[in-house]
Structure 1
Amino acid sequence: MSQHRRTSVLILSGIVLLAFVLRLYRADAYGLFFDEKATILISQGIPMEGANQHDVFDKPDSPYFTPKEFWRPKTLADFNEAVSRSDIGHSPAYYAMLWTWIKAFGLSDLSLRFPSILFGTLTVLLVYFFVKRHLRLTPETTDRLALISAFIATIEPLFIAHSHIARNYTMSFFLTLLATHVFLIIIEKEKARKASVGLYIGYCALVSLSILSHYLTVTVFLSHGLYVLFFVRKWPVWYKLGVSFAVALGFVSLWMLFGGGQSTFGTLKYQAEFYRMLAETNPVNNGFGLILPATVPNVFWRAIPVFADLVIFTNGLATMIVGYRNAVVAFLIGLLCIFIIHRYRNQRQTPQWVKFAIPTLLLAGMLYYSIHPLQHLVLSAMLPFFYLLGLSLMEDFRPGDRPLLLFLIMLSLIPTLFLLLMAFRSGHTYGVTQRYSGFSFPYVCILVALMIQKLFAQRLWISLPLAAVLFIQAGFVALLLQQIYNDMAPKYTSYGVPRTKNPFWYSAKKIQELYTPGDTVLYPTLKRKEYTEIDKSGRPYDILDAQLVNIYLPRDATYYQRIDTTEQDKIVLVKGKTGQKITIFDLEGTKYRY
């Protein structure tokens, strides 16, 4: 192994280790949020609110139930019902994987989230190999680009945040990137007529697993189809890929026709109508956040932060830029910087004033900005960065590489553009959100790495001031990561106020510690709203608190428990001999329930 190769392996190992540490750090610091509660129940074949647990919670002869009854063995039908009722028939591949994982490693919060940590870390490693295989510059340049891309993926806030969440996102990001990797290998091999059947089978399996991990992964495969349509001229390749995709959709159709996916389209239709009604009648104080009618201006303004946050050096700018005049001045400064770079970057004798022009322009803007001057400084450097990306795409690659580069751009944009199209179709802006376009981020990380590599190939009078701006933006990213770790970044963690440790796990441990034969555990309940047939459990009250505590109780325990319909907040242990009531945990309304 050459010295360069050893150094590269050492750096990559450090990057992957850093990625793992950043994803593991504080991964179990906070309790489960609402979607994760669905995750833990569904993975065990239990619908939220127990539509398949009437024999546990609705016995005609007794209001009592035990953990042993709660944990009665579940069937495939139970699993299908749990997915259809609790997650619109979504993500069966993820839940099946998680069921296997929990069987092996248990039900702690860290165990539940650990697959997300692993897939998040593997995505970083795969980004490196993706670049090494498909972006062919000189060996050293490609290796450097691959390392930069992997590092950007390592510190990307969305990747870190979703590695702390027991949901399907990091698995979907990994699967779609791997599917794209295999897709490009197929295209490459077909040029030499060496693509094996095994590659097509692997691609078919990855398409199926991706869609069955998250339905919106179809946006990635739409990009694959457009690439074939525009850049692949061989009918046999069209045919083979078409058959692969048809077979993959056939497997998905089995789930949609005979599994829990049967509820998907009906539930999506209902949700579109429900959110459109909220957008038209109660866009602000509706309990779901800001939901606006899908007019062109509303969708445009909702899309700006989603697009901005795709790129790590513009992350957060859309919400910090206040005032049109400030933004216009920042863009004008950016345009002037581009003009100077374009005019003088290749001149042998650079005029002395040019060497100070870019930092002078950037600092001059700081004197003008009336609010958030550092964020506007970063905004003013945004256009030069994208100009450098354009230079890299035009200068550093051969004409034959242009289809691949356009493919990366398509993969970076189409998932978000699809969300905008669906917003207009459904009539509301609720779905225009960052996590639904997360499949784009690996490819954006590669484009950002191209910008950075091109930046440091420039003369110092260009690279130093723009690198200083990158350093400032890195500080903002570090602050954002601190907010994510402290559970105070609602865009990423769904919370602006930090959660506590898992109250349901704590309650289960407390019950095990205090319970003696003859005692009874009482669970609080809230009134339920049942919007659709899929929501109906036959009860006017909820049992979710009881379900979540029982998830953590021993499976063979015979603790007597019941729902107390007169109590809304407190989990209470009633001692059998004395009648003493001990409060196990006070859930305080909805504080710990969402």
Structure 2
Amino acid sequence: MFTISNRTALLGLGALLALSLALRLYRLDTYAIYFDEKSTLLISQGVCLEGFNQKDVFAKPYFTPAEFWKPKTVHDFIEANIRGDIGNSPAYYAVLKVWLNLFGLSDASLRMPSVIFSVLIVALIFVFVRRHFRFLGEQRVNTLALTSAAIAAVEPFFVAYSHIARNYSMTFFLTLLATHLFLLILERITDCRPVAWLYVAYGITFVASVLSHYLTVTVFLCHGLYALLYLRNARAWVALGATAVIGLGLVSLWFIFGGGKYTFFTLNYQANFYRNIALTNPYNSGFGTILPATIPNIAVRAVPIFTDLFMPTNGLAGVLAGLRNSLLALGLGTVATVIIHLYRPVTKPPVWVYGAVTLVLLTGVLIYTVLPLRLLVLSVSVPFVYLIGWYITTHVGGRQQRPVVLLLLLAFVPTLFLLFMAWRSGHTFGITQRYSGFSFPYVCMLVAMGLHQLTQLRWWFAAPITAVLLIQAVHLLTLLGDIYADRAPKYTYFAEPRIANPYWSSAQQIKKLYAPGDTVLYPNKTRIIHSEKMDRTYSPVSLLDAQLVNVYLPKDAQYVQHIDANERDRIILKKGDTGQKIVIFDFKGRTYRYGE
């Protein structure tokens, strides 16, 4: 029997990291930054969206890149964070600021920290499994660690968010690191070994996580629930309590003196704003479909969140909408699972058993009225869940079950918390995968358990399940292709591919064509003010187009620029010697203003 040694496992990890990096670098800067990424770029430079801290630049009829790029202070950074991201994610913006100072402001550079953290997630999953499931033995833990890392390497969610210049990849990594440190602390407590440095590391990771994204608190909520279940050491409770208090104290400084001081006001405003949309104009508000947070509406929105968490069920939310077909698929899957459970220990079962699972699964294909292959995948989800349970009950017992309990908490509690917050807020706007994406690393481990146990089934049971999982693999490959082609809305937010960054290309054209005496004209686009306190600046027109072009212009340039009252969509270079107007770029309304 082929065995995986530690050396082989490390070589396998190296190959997986190379694959992960390749998948995440591919087409990284093909498509332009969308609205949230525009916020990321400006905030990282201490620039407020729409010029709140640049009144002296844009209040004048004419301005230059040198004026736009005047030195920014810590207060500018905080103000930009408040107005661009409700005071969220200062840790991420600080990391990004340092990175961009070193490597420039290109789209690839802007997204590269997300790539790096996403690859680090794959590595840390491997380390996590090897460390906390080592009771499985060398062969089995190496297999589980490599399989978990392989799933993370190709997980569409991770690949997609590595292409987005936002905090998510960083928060997923930090929360996984925090869980790793938390389990190390509990392990050292059990072994009565000193753990002071681990408490410090855990506290720092807690602070960095929360200041990377506020919803990371759901992960630490899971840690607390786990401690309530299993921690019976008074001194450890005191130490963890002190770590939490100090960590919260450091985080509170941001809420008292930094950008976080407006967070609760903004969250309350947004809750009222989206609740009003849900009650008055749920379908045509321009913010997507926002429904009142009734139990049925929340349940409908929760289905794709849970199904897309697991690679074997990714994309099955659509078929679950057809109640008759989905119940039939789940029923047939249950029948197949019962047959597997009853006859898997039998070396020579009755002849009918050899083809029973295949026959049961194919029966559904003949009678499903829509999407038979997708419903076939749904039916196999039942025996796959059974395989995960079989792995746990077979290989994990007694105290060793505790890490699995934590995996289950972390797989489901973040999403359940998100649903609870939606119910409290009265609208469904915030029910989206990225806000509970902290669960994905742990789900990768659970799926790996199911795949491992699949190899332990008799071939007559394993073959039909494997065949259906290969059908699902085709779906996942297609999904990755759609992500790379910028037409996977649930991951890229766009059904139609974007073009390359028009702000960068406009800046290159201006640098090439500008001569002394010329004037760059920017469109005069009326702003939509949603919040008088947060959105209102001195300017009634949008300055964002001018801001984003100036980001890519030389910091000492003296190009004369102007917001043109007669333009709505075009950036124009007006030649000073002839008065000729050269169109640098035409936004065509909202067509190329992504996400605005």
In the superposition, the TM-score normalised over structure 2's length comes to 0.98
**In structure 1, how many angstroms separate the alpha carbons of the residues matched to 2:394 and 2:524?**
64
| C-alpha distance in 1 between matches for 2:247 and 2:128 | 23
Looking at structure 1, the residues matched to 79 and 565 of structure 2 have their Cα atoms a distance apart, in angstroms, of 26
Partner of 1:109: 107
Distance in structure 2 (CA, Å) of the matches to 1:353 and 1:23: 47
**Matched position secondary structure for 2:5:** helix
CA shift, 1:196, in A, is: 2.3
| Partner amino acid, structure 1, of 2:407 | L
Deviation at 1:469, TM superposition (A): 1.0
Aligned equivalent of 2:9: 8
Q: Which amino acid aligns with 1:587?
A: F
> Contact 2:4 / 2:139 at 8 angstroms: preserved in 1?
no
For residues 159-558 of structure 1, the aligned pairs below 5 Å read: 159-532=158-531, 533-558=533-558
Give the Cα–Cα distance (whole angstroms) in 1 for the partners of residues 342 and 496 of structure 2: 50
> What secondary structure sits across from 2:127 in the alignment?
helix
Cα separation, 1, equivalents of 2:122 and 2:348:
42
- SS for the counterpart of 1:585 is strand
Q: Distance in 1 between matches of 2:280 and 2:161?
A: 32
Q: Specify the alignment match of 2:48 in structure 1.
A: 47
Equivalent-residue separation in structure 2 for 1:66 and 1:524 (angstroms)? 16
CA contact (8 A) 1:528 1:540 kept: yes
Name the counterpart of 1:68.
Answer: 66
Tell me, yes or no, if the aligned pair for 1:322 and 1:371 is still in contact at 8 Å.
no
Q: Percent identity?
A: 53
Q: What SS does the aligned partner of 2:288 have?
A: coil
Q: Aligned Cα RMSD in Å?
A: 1.0
**Aligned-residue offset at 1:555:** 0.2
The amino acid across from 1:99 in the alignment is K
Amino acid at match of 2:111: R
Instruction: Give the superposition deviation at 1:370.
Output: 1.3
Report the AA paired with residue 43 of structure 1. S
**Does 2:58 align with 1:57?**
yes
Indicate conservation of the 8 Å contact 2:454/2:462, yes or no.
yes
8 Å CA contact 2:48, 2:79 repeated in 1: yes
Any idea what the Cα deviations from partners look like across 1:569-594, whole Å, max 9, x if unmatched? 00000000000000000011111212
Shift of 1:199: 0.7
Q: Distance in 2 between matches of 1:479 and 1:222?
A: 36
Which residue of the partner structure matches residue 561 of structure 1?
561
Q: Deviation at 1:129?
A: 0.4
Query: For each residue in 1:113-132, what CA deviation from the matched residue of structure 2 results, as whole angstroms up to 9, or x when unmatched?
Result: 00000000010000000000
Question: Residue 186 of structure 1 contacts residue 195 of structure 1 at CA under 8 Å; is this kept in 2?
Answer: no
- Name which of structure 1's ranges 465-474 and 5-14 shifts more when overlaid on structure 2: 5-14
Greater alpha carbon shift after TM alignment, 7-16 vs 39-48: 7-16
CA shift at 1:450, angstroms?
0.5
Aligned to 2:19: 18
- Given that residues 89 and 260 in structure 1 are in contact (C-alpha distance below 8 angstroms), is that contact kept between their aligned partners in structure 2? yes
Distance 1:306 1:3, change over 3 A: closer
Write the deviation string for residues 144-202 of structure 1: whole angstroms up to 9, x where unpaired. Answer: 00000000001111100000000000000000000100010000001112132111000
* Distance in 2, Cα, partners of 1:262 & 1:497: 38
CA distance in 1, matches of 2:191, 2:590: 61
- The CA deviation string for residues 536-586 of structure 1, in whole angstroms up to 9 with x for no partner, is 111111100000000000000000001012211000000000000000000
Q: Is the 8 A contact 2:122 2:152 kept in 1?
A: yes
CA distance in 2, matches of 1:491, 1:218: 24
One-letter amino acid matched to 2:74: L
Letter matched to residue 113 of structure 1: R
Gapped regions of structure 1 (runs ≥ 5): none
1:472-502 deviation digits (Å, cap 9, x = unpaired): 1000000001010000011001111100000
Counterpart AA for 1:50? G
Matched residue SS, 1:562:
strand
The equivalences for 1:140-155 within 5 A come to: 140-155=139-154
The alpha carbon displacement at 1:398 in A equals 2.2
- Moved segments of 4+, more than 3 Å: none
Amino acid aligned to 2:485: N
Q: Give deviations 1:354-375, integer Å, cap 9, x for gaps.
A: 0110111111111011111110
Deviations 1:42-75 (A, max 9, x none): 000001001000010013xxx0000000000000
Does the residue aligned with 1:226 lie in a helix, a strand or coil?
Answer: helix
Aligned partner of residue 122 in structure 2, secondary structure: helix
Q: Which residue does 1:587 correspond to in 2?
A: 587
Rounded Cα–Cα distance in structure 2 between residues aligned with 1:23 and 1:320: 30
Following TM superposition, by how much is the alpha carbon of 1:5 offset from its aligned partner in structure 2, in angstroms? 2.8
> Contact 1:525–1:545 at 8 Å: present in 2 too?
no
Match of 1:92, as an amino acid? P
Is 1:88 the counterpart of 2:55? The answer is no
With 167-176 and 321-330 compared, the bigger mean Cα shift is at: 321-330
Question: Residue in 1 aligned with 2:37?
Answer: 36
What SS does the corresponding residue of 1:371 show, helix, strand or coil? coil
Instruction: Quote how far apart the aligned CAs of 1:322 are.
Output: 4.8
Whole-angstrom distance in 1 between the partners of 2:115 and 2:298: 33
Between stretches 314-323 and 413-422, larger displacement belongs to 314-323
Would you say 1:570 and 2:580 are equivalent positions? no
1:530 Cα offset (Å)? 2.1
When structure 1 is superposed on structure 2, of 555-564 and 188-197 the one drifting more is 188-197
What secondary structure, in the 3-state scheme, does the structure 2 residue paired with 1:534 have? coil
Report SS of the residue matched to 1:334. Answer: helix
Change in CA separation of 1:3 and 1:288 when aligned onto 2, cut-off 3 Å = closer
Kindly indicate whether the alpha-carbon contact (under 8 Å) linking 2:31 and 2:498 is maintained by their aligned counterparts in 1: yes
Provide Cα deviations, 1:398-426, integer angstroms capped at 9, x if missing partner: 21112211110000001100010001100
For residues 203 and 21 of structure 2, what CA distance do their matches in structure 1 show?
29
User: TM-score by structure 1 length?
Assistant: 0.98
The answer to whether the 8 Å contact 2:65/2:558 transfers is yes
Shift of 1:321: 4.0
Displacement of 1:6: 2.8
- 194-203 or 26-35: bigger deviation: 194-203
Whether contact under 8 Å (2:5, 2:138) holds in the other structure is: no
Give CA deviations for 1:490-535 in whole Å, capped at 9, x if unaligned: 1001111100000000000000000000000000021112222121
**Cα contact 1:321–1:372 (8 A) shared by 2:** no
CA distance in 2, matches of 1:105, 1:114: 10
Equivalent residues of 1:68, 1:558 under 8 A apart: yes
Give me the whole-angstrom Cα distance separating, in 1, the residues matched to 2:105 and 2:98: 11
Partner of 1:49: helix, strand, or coil?
helix
